Chain A
Amino acid sequence: MTTVKVQASRKPMDFAVVRQPIWCPGCGDYGILEALRRALAEVGAKNEEVVIVSGIGCSSQLPHFMKTYGVHGIHGRVLPVATGIKVSNPKLTVIGVGGDGDGYGIGLNHLIHAARRNVGVVYIVSNNQVYGLTTGQMSPTTLKGVKTKTTPYGSIDSPVNPLALALSAGATFVARGFSGDVAHLAQIIAEALRHRGFALVDVLSPCVTFNRVNTYDWFRARVYKLESVGHDPTDFEQAYKRALEWPTLDPYGKIPIGLFYKREDLPAYEEEVAGLLGGRSPIEAPLELSEELVEELLARFA
């Protein structure tokens, strides 16, 4: 069951607002914003049926630049809020957006649980390998050896590998994009929007102000597209191997982007919940009970 209805000729600008983004010029988040608008247009989403949930960080400002519903919540809690929305009203297109600190640091727990539940949320992580909004501290994806404000002698922490983690946790759609390739990223997000269940889209998204290591040029020299090497996204083992390539096996080596893994045969969490509720979602369940139902409820205590 895909939750996105196809509507005639929607344009990226249909999702734009007057307010201009407040990111630094050149920030990778511009690429994510543009790609998201294009993807929503491509799948024909209706503005009022889209909810974008974010946490706290530079990247989490994104909902403010979209003509959709949004929750700009607290740091790291994107996925629980998104889960609450999607389960309550599965007809909505629910998108999570946040930083690497937000999603792989303080909120990492929720990524694993959203993945294993297979809740129908597209989760886009702006992975700039640094804490942008708090002015340049180490993040969970900062590479070992990289100097930041909190690692002045070079980071001694190994980075997390979000894609391998998500795959291990049972995510049914795992992809990586690059802000420097908006067209490619837009395709990935559109495919994620059409996916049944949870989709993680990790985006290499340079912070031009606080990350002088992982720059656009740094990524351009390293990224390659999975589709160009004949990767089969239905093969879990292949996907896992590709996921380990970077940053786990060679943090300074080649970086695969594109769709790592996808399977469509598992029910989404909101479908399971609706199944328990007799085929309806919470928003469809009447607020007031019929007399018979009230009696049935009270009969349990007789």
Chain B
Amino acid sequence: MEVTIRISGAQGEGVESAGRLTAQALAKLGYHVFAFRQYASIIKGNPTMFYQIRASTTKIYSHGRWSSFDVLVALNKNALVAYEGGAKYLIYDSADRSTPQRRGEVPIPLADYALKAGNKIMRNTVAVGALMGLLGIDISVLADLLKREFGEKGEKIAEQNIQAAQMGFDHAVKAVGSALGFGKVGEPKLLMSGAEALAVGSILAGMRFYAAYPMTPASPIMHFLAEVGPKFGVAVLQAEDEIAAMNMVIGASFAGVRAATGTSGGGFDLMHEAFGLAGMIEAPAVVFLSQRGGPSTGLPTETEQADLLMALSPSHGEYPHAVIAPYTIEDGLYAVAKAFNLAEKYQIPVIVATDLYFNESLTTVDDIDWKRFKIERGELVTSPVVWDEYKRYKLTETGVSPRAIPGILGGMHVATSDEHDERGDVITDRHLPEIRKAMHDKRMRKLAKVVEEMEGPAVFGSGEIALVTWGSTAMPLLDLASLERDVEVIAFRDIYPLNKEAALRALDGAKALIDVELNYEGQLALYLKRELGVELKMKILKWWGEPFSLDELSELV
């Protein structure tokens, strides 16, 4: 049992909250839900933004189809005209079209009902009420959500909204009956966005310091942490710019606190120098690189995966780091836990690469595997050391050295961006190639240890055609694999350093390999060719701000 609903209207018309409420209602009834928002870089305007909510009794990972859906809720005429062709059922304002043109159309006096309930701005609530009616969802589910949304302070507003919803509901039921029959199918499910998954994962992973500068689509991570973090001991600082944010993270990390920042491509550009500093002074750090369409300001509110090559090699010079790109929102929770552990165990900066599609989509999350949140702090020094002997950058076989933090008696040392010796003393006032050789090699050889912890690509399904991808593009592909026989999905998640044997094993065989990515160059394919010598000759690429959808993928494959 499955339904796909598109709610469309102008930005500022309430599409956002209508979409959220719908997704929440379905999650409450036990459905697997995925909700995606397509919008533009404008606060009020853009007549046809939409929220697409898909719900199913089986597990789903994406918003589904692009050009057809079961229900369209159009909050204005533009939206109605733009999308009605793709919909079986239409809910729209009777002011926009008074008489239905075909079966399944439900014109409703949205504004009139809203006014009657107390305020014209509740048109969206009337529409959601009608949607509940059509779907066959008990109005009390929505009423509870509205009560929670407006809280005790907004009791009156909540009541008005409930009244507005009820009118829409009654109208729809009268017109089409509860046509779709979406009753309760299970226990309520947790519903969270990708950004929230990253934030929650961070809190669970022991992150207690987050500094960032607002940038779509990373901002929701900070919004969540700013509101919820303090209760859990997380300090959230809005830095003056991304350069400051990254340097603050390094400071917090030096002080012994698990710390992270989040940004998009442009902000990450500004962080490069400090990212390299973290590599040089061996300060653990996590960066949430939330991609959007580039270059430059690019497509600020639309998705893309064109920063892979940058993530592989940010900043100048050579130093160890790691890149992880969660392939589902649920996996985001675990990817973050892993990122913090890798960062601290190997004293390196780690990038968690996602994108707008990942960060802003909402999905239901099933049981959480708590085993995956074990905190590993590596070579952290927790008791006094003898200062004359202590070597912060001791040459070890693994390359990892004991890390004393301020407050530890005897652990005094300087973390130096200049090349330094084992004690951290700057050596650049002389030519000391032997020390340089040894220290550079020490840092770089940590990668050999990191790679042992990197998993090979996740493989789903099996078949003659293997779709090779990374990060969030795996989400629609996973759905495709469950629909089409003979399609296999190979999703790279632990991207750098690459576990080459495991990668080759996954790519091996007579399969036709097709690279699927949201960028122009086929950046994963370039990377795999460089690392493995494997060429992905066929490519399905897209760089115009839309995620992949099931209908288009079926056709292309």
Contacts and interface: CB of A to CB of B under 8 A. Distances in A.
B239 interface: yes
B222 interface: no
A64 B425 contact: yes
A89 B255 contact: yes
B412 A47 contact: yes
Nearest to A112: B240
Contacts of B249: 84
A285 B247 contact: no
Interface stretch (A155-163, A237-245, A272-280): A272-280
A294 interface: yes
Contact of A287 (B228, B253, B258): B258
A77 interface: yes
Interface residues of A, number: 61
B240 A285 contact: no
Given A69-B412, A89-B256, A77 B375 contact: no
A88 B233 contact: no
B407 interface: yes
A259 to B, nearest CB: 27
Given A71-B251, A84-B259, A280-B233, A89 B406 contact: yes
A301 B252 contact: no
A85 B415 CA distance: 13
A63 interface: yes
B208 A73 contact: no
**Chain B, interface SS category:** mixed
Interface string B224-257: 0000101111110101110111111111111111
B233 A49 contact: no
B277 A73 contact: yes
Contacts of B258: 287
A277 B415 contact: no
Interface stretch (B104-112, B159-167, B184-192, B347-355): B184-192
Contact of A283 (B196, B234, B255): B255
Interface stretch (B198-206, B474-482, B508-516, B530-538): B198-206
A89 B407 contact: yes
A178 to B, nearest CB: 27
Contacts of B398: none
Given A72-B417, A92-B407, A282-B208, A84 B250 contact: yes
A50 B406 CA distance: 7
A113 interface: yes
A289 B256 CA distance: 18
A269 B243 CA distance: 19
B504 interface: no
Contacts of B413: 69-70
A289 to B, nearest CB: 6
B247 A80 contact: yes
B203 A289 contact: yes
Contacts of B245: 80
A113 B243 CA distance: 13
Contacts of A143: none
A208 interface: no
Contacts of A70: 412-415
Contacts of B406: 48-51, 69, 85, 89, 92
Most buried by B among A50, A80, A278, A280: A80
B410 interface: yes
B414 A64 contact: yes
Interface of B: 188, 190-192, 196, 200, 203-204, 206, 208-209, 211, 228, 230-235, 237, 239-241, 243-259, 273-274, 277, 281, 365, 368, 375, 387, 406-418, 425-426, 429
29 contacts: A56-B417, A61-B426, A67-B387, A67-B412, A69-B406, A71-B281, A73-B281, A77-B243, A77-B244, A80-B243, A80-B251, A81-B247, A84-B247, A84-B249, A84-B254, A85-B406, A86-B251, A88-B209, A88-B256, A273-B237, A276-B235, A280-B233, A282-B257, A283-B208, A283-B257, A285-B234, A287-B258, A289-B232, A301-B196
Given A92-B255, A287-B258, 11 more contacts: A48-B412, A70-B413, A77-B247, A84-B247, A87-B248, A88-B251, A89-B255, A89-B407, A110-B240, A277-B234, A282-B234
Closest 8 CB pairs of A and B: A285-B233, A84-B251, A80-B247, A287-B206, A70-B414, A84-B248, A88-B255, A282-B208
